[in-house]
């Protein structure tokens, strides 16, 4: 019997995502000027106010207030009527030096024996139901909001959009766990005020269905386009008026959208957030590494769906263990435990090895902080950073290295796949 599964996303203008982007922009600036920086940075945003807190060990000094304001303005909070804008909001910094007790458990005389920055378990997941190996409902939710942001910046076809928005997509799956159709699409978008609320609701719903949905649909392969049927249930701004939004409507905090950031509720999650953490924190680096493994396993044909878990003790380099679950979709004549043993032989999961393999000590994190850390395109971009003394540094960095399918050949050889 068919079943329904739902995933959601939130836009770059959502209060929690503003916080994530500020925290990760600060991480990027520290890493740009001192790649060995150790940073844990939390951000709170509310009406007219930003609060920064955390711990840092670095040889550089930054104007964190300016970094926060630049992020807020880039997102689109540039008008005083939003009750939160980058030029006028207050920014309070309570960032201080990292505890030496924590640092002694991470740094080692032999860099290869760098200890994990914390205990815990991290998960990576991949499925072949989309070309980017993430669940379809999550992929569509991200696409809806990315395209809505494009429409907002174009300010052409839709002129009333404000930065805060959310989307949710429910997929109907068959008994074989393949998508059959899109059941429901929910979009809630902040907007300018309208004199006539009923007319406002009609216009927003019409624009979402007739402008946004076709633009998203056109991005997809034909096999997924056919899932858009006339039977889709739409809930567009279902509560009605949504003028008050962003940090004025809801306080935002770093690290509150961990399911949006990963797999939309599929697979599993170890509980640790990503944004605001340098790559010595395995909450982040090991989650990327397990995603890299899972995606390459599925792409190599080992299974249609894969979950990979790794676990650590704080200050210890060698993982406690590595687990693989193929959900009964394995295409090789090995148990999941045997698959895990071969994966362990292929991938060095010590923190230092992960950092080097995925090039994680580069300023690559602000781009991850909205629309998901997984399922993105790996690409090389040029980024320029400025310090308070007007010095600048320009770097070519590779984004989303954990999304590369660069281990498929090695996996096929290890598993005897052609």
pLDDT at 109: 62
Q: Is pTM beyond 0.75 here?
A: yes
Pick out the residues of the known binding site for K(+).
42
Domains belonging to the chain, first-starting first, are 3-9+136-245 (3.30.300.10), 120-127+279-415 (3.30.300.10)
256-301 pLDDT per residue, tens = 999 999 999 999 999 999 999 999 999 999 999 999 999 999 999 9
Flag whether pLDDT at 107 surpasses 80.
no
Share of the chain above pLDDT 90, in %: 94
Q: Could you give the residue ranges of the DSSP H alpha helices within 208-332?
A: 213-217, 222-225, 246-249, 258-261, 282-300
Torsion, CA 193, CA 196, CA 202, CA 205, rounded to 10: 10
Pick out the residues of the known binding site for L-methionine.
55, 98, 250, 281
Flag whether pLDDT at 105 surpasses 60.
no
Lowest average pLDDT, out of 93-102, 133-142, 252-261, 296-305, goes to 93-102
Pick out the residues of the known binding site for ATP.
14, 164-166, 241-242, 250, 256-257, 273, 277
Pick out the residues of the known binding site.
14, 16, 42, 55, 98, 164-166, 241-242, 250, 256-257, 273, 277, 281
| Strands (E) located in 256-373 | 305-312, 321-325
Pick out the residues of the known binding site for Mg(2+).
16
Cα–Cα distance, 380 to 359 (Å, whole number):
12
pLDDT at 113: 79
Cα–Cα distance, 34 to 387 (Å, whole number):
12
Q: At 160, is the secondary structure helix, strand, or coil?
A: coil
CB-based burial, 193-223: b 16+ in 10 Å, e otherwise: eeeeeeebbeebbebbeeebbeebbeebeee
């Amino acid at each position: 019997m068919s079943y329904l599964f739902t995933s959601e996303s939130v836009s770059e203008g959502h209060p929690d995502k503003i916080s994530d982007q500020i925290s990760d922009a600060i991480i990027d600036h520290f890493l740009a000027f001192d790649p060995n920086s150790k940073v844990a940075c939390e951000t709170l945003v509310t009406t007219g106010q930003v609060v920064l807190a955390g711990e840092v060990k670095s040889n550089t000094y930054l104007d964190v207030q300016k970094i926060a304001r630049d992020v807020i303005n880039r997102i689109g909070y540039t008008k005083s009527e939003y009750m939160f804008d980058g030029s006028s909001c207050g920014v309070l910094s309570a960032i201080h030096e990292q505890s030496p007790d924590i640092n002694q458990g991470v740094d080692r005389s032999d860099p290869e024996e760098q200890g994990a920055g914390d205990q815990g378990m991290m998960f990576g997941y991949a499925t072949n139901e989309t070309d980017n190996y993430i669940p379809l409902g999550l992929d569509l939710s991200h696409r809806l909001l990315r395209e809505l942001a494009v429409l907002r910046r174009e300010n052409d076809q839709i002129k009333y959009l404000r930065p805060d928005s959310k989307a949710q997509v429910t997929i109907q799956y068959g008994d074989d766990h393949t998508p059959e159709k899109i059941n429901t699409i929910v979009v809630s978008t902040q907007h300018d005020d309208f004199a006539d609320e009923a007319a406002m609701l009609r216009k927003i719903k019409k624009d979402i269905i007739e402008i946004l949905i076709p633009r998203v649909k056109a991005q997809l392969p034909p096999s997924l386009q056919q899932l858009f049927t006339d039977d889709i249930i739409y809930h567009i701004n279902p509560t009605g008026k949504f003028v008050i939004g962003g940090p004025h409507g809801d306080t935002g905090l770093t690290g509150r959208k961990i399911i949006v950031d990963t797999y939309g509720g599929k697979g599993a999650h170890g509980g640790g957030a990503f944004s605001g953490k340098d790559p010595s924190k395995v909450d982040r680096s090991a989650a990327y590494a397990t995603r890299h493994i899972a995606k390459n396993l599925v792409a190599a044909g080992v299974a249609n769906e894969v979950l990979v878990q790794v676990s650590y003790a704080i200050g210890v380099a060698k993982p406690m263990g590595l687990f693989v679950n193929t959900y009964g979709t394995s295409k090789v004549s090995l148990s999941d435990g045997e698959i895990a043993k071969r994966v362990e032989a292929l991938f060095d999961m010590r923190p230092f090895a992960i950092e080097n393999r995925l090039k994680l000590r580069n300023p690559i994190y602000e781009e991850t902080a909205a629309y998901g850390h997984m399922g993105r395109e790996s690409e090389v971009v040029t980024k320029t950073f400025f310090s308070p003394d007007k010095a600048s540094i320009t770097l070519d960095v590779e984004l989303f290295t954990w999304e590369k399918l660069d281990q498929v050949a090695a996996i096929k050889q290890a598993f005897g796949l052609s």
